[in-house]
Amino acid sequence: MPDCSENYENEISEGHNVRSIKCKFCNSIILKPSVASFTTVQFQLPLMKQTGGTNHPETEELSLFWMVTDMLMFENVGFSNTVGNNKYLTCADCEAGPIGYYDLSSKKSYVALSRVKHC
Amino acid sequence: MAKTYDYLFKLLLIGDSGVGKTCVLFRFSEDAFNTTFISTIGIDFKIRTIDLDGKKIKLQIWDTAGQERFRTITTAYYRGAMGIMLVYDITNEKSFENIKNWIRNIEENASSDVEKMLLGNKCELEEKRQVSKERGEQLAVEYGIKFIETSAKASIRVEEAFFTLARDIKAKMEKKLVSHVYNDCF
Ligand SMILES: Nc1nc2c(ncn2[C@@H]2O[C@H](COP(=O)(O)OP(=O)(O)O)[C@@H](O)[C@H]2O)c(=O)[nH]1
Ligand SMILES: [Mg+2]
């Protein structure tokens, strides 16, 4: 298998993740193959590296996510304290994040494809 | 989707502020990623998956988010907890003395059969030690719980501690299961 790629098309098979989803920084396993579903939603996710204060975090609009219906499907993950209707997801080991968000009302978790690696 | 694990254990970290509970929650690495955004909001809980004697165990580990400073840890926080890591700092006598108060708090608020374990953290700071290992062991014997000295900073025995607690909870659950089956049959 090739190294971790950014070519997302090859990462999706029948709507699920082909390979493991890992932390970009420390390789901690976040999701095992085929447990997450590919989905597109618009979400303003705060940047991992902020330059200013956190009162008005800088965000970027992301739309490609791995959706996880039950939080116990994660291998390793951190949930932040609640902000509005969301919790932010982080790597359980090095706490890099946000790698995605959790929606309190639907209880679904969304991991941004661009914030993790697939290998 | 089929269940991807055999057991789910809810664990809590309890102890004075500053003993290292939050650090024990993650593998402390030099290159730990420091995002001001996440550290400002704070981590509520983590999910970790471990393999224990062929069983897949999900650990849901809750940190106190600083409520310990105000001693406002209440029944709600303890609800459903199956294991509690009681943490003190071996370089801080007061944090060790307070373990007794934390145990009282647990007895008043948590389920009586919650599995407990005592951690003496920061054990790599030998030159600053205020609490001897013997005193830790003695206190653990007094309460009939296990004891281990750890260092979140030097990654000493932290994983072992979580595995030990998880193994004890699993053994307790399986014992309960067996006695239920036994009672049903006879
Ligand atoms: N030397 C040393 N410092 C530690 C260790 N664990 C945590 N710390 C430090 O102790 C301080 C408090 O840690 P923290 O995890 O926030 O404690 P909490 O208040 O119990 O959550 C921080 O400065 C940590 O870097 C350890 O094992 N050794
Ligand atoms: Mg803390």
Q: What domains sit in chain A, N to C, each tagged with a CATH number? A: 8-118 (2.170.150.10)
B147 vs B149: CA distance, rounded Å: 7
pLDDT value of residue B64: 74
Query: Are the CB atoms for A96 and A26 separated by under 8 Å?
Result: yes
**Burial (Cβ within 10 Å: 0-12, 13-18, ≥19) of residue A90:** buried
pLDDT band at B125 (very low <50, low <70, confident <90, very high): very high
- Which residue does chain A place closest to B29, by CA atoms? A94
- Calculate the average pLDDT of chain B: 88
Name the amino acid, one letter, at B131.
Answer: V
The overall pTM is greater than 0.95: no
Is the per-residue pLDDT at A39 higher than 90? Answer: yes
pLDDT value of residue B2: 60
* Atom 24, ligand 1: residue with shortest CA distance: B20
Is the per-residue pLDDT at A38 higher than 70? Answer: yes
Q: Which B residues, 123 through 152, put their C-beta within 8 Å of a C-beta on chain A?
A: none
Say yes or no: A56 contacts chain B, CB-CB below 8 A. Answer: no
Say yes or no: A24 contacts chain B, CB-CB below 8 A. Answer: no
Q: What DSSP line would sit under B50-98, residue for residue?
A: EEETTEEEEEEEE--TTGGGGT---HHHHTT--EEEEEEETT-HHHHHT
Is the per-residue pLDDT at B60 higher than 90? Answer: yes
Q: Do B49 and A80 touch (CB under 8 A)?
A: no
Is the per-residue pLDDT at B79 higher than 90? Answer: no
In chain B, % of residues over pLDDT 70:
85
pLDDT value of residue B148: 98
Say yes or no: B58 contacts chain A, CB-CB below 8 A. Answer: yes
pLDDT value of residue B184: 64
Measured in angstroms, the CA of B58 and the nearest CA of chain A are apart by: 7
pLDDT value of residue A3: 44
